[in-house]
Amino acid sequence: MISGLGIGCHSDSDSNFRDKSDTLQIVVSCLENELVCRNLDSDTKDIFILKSRFINAVWPKVVGSIKVHYIEGTDASRHIIRSLKETSDRRIRLSVEKFDLRKDSVSVVLYFFSSVAEHHLELKKEDGKWKIVKSNMLIE
């Protein structure tokens, strides 16, 4: 399910992709989504996102009360955790497997290594705001 090297990004408009307001709204909306939040508990203070070619300086450092850290996508950071007892690395790690931005829509796939879950999110831009119109979760 993890493509590893196959992370892809598409944008109909480079200026749209670089729009700080759009990018920030999209990322925050995805991370605040109810299904995505099921991978977090009340004790979660930090999440770690693996760096990719479309994560840039405008991505948030804080979402709500959670700090967001960006880490290198090494083999160790991509290790899938089947049980928190099997590893000392209990960080909530995720990768952005897809970020396909169009003029008024975007498709995002987030993969959580700690819960072995993929989140597929579709957002539409309505009245200048990005809103999630479809969200589902796949568990391995």
Which letter, b or e, does each residue of 68-89 get, where b requires 16 or more Cβ atoms within 10 Å of its Cβ? beeeebeeebeeebeeeeeeee
Task: Please report whether residue 73 resides in a domain.
Answer: yes
Question: Rounded to whole angstroms, how far apart are CA atoms 115 and 92?
Answer: 9
pLDDT tier at 52, thresholds 50, 70, 90: confident
Q: Does the residue 23 lie in any domain?
A: yes
Inside any domain, residue 81: yes
Q: Nearest-5° angle of CA 114, CA 77, CA 6? A: 95
Give the chain's domain count.
1
Report the C-alpha gap between 26 and 69 in whole angstroms: 17
Percent of the chain predicted with pLDDT > 90: 43
Q: Which residue has the higher pLDDT, 79 or 100?
A: 100
Q: What is the pLDDT of residue 2?
A: 30
* Residue 1 falls inside a structural domain: no
The model's pTM is 0.79
Q: Which of 51, 49, 53 is nearest to 8 (CA)?
A: 53
Domain hosting 81: range is 6-139
In a domain, 30, yes or no: yes
In a domain, 59, yes or no: yes
Asked, for residue 96, whether it belongs to a domain, the answer is: yes
The phi, psi pair for 16, rounded to 5°, reads: -65, -45
Dump pLDDT digits (tens) for 84-137: 566 666 788 999 999 999 989 999 999 998 888 999 999 999 999 999 999 999
Task: Flag whether 49 is in a domain.
Answer: yes
- Lookup: tokens for 38: 């099921």
Burial class (CB in 10 A: 0-12, 13-18, 19+), 137: middle
Q: 81 pLDDT band (50/70/90 cuts)?
A: low
* Residue that wins the pLDDT comparison between 81 and 124: 124
Residue pLDDT, tens place only, 10-23? 444 444 444 667 88
Alpha carbons 47 and 112: distance in angstroms, whole number: 10
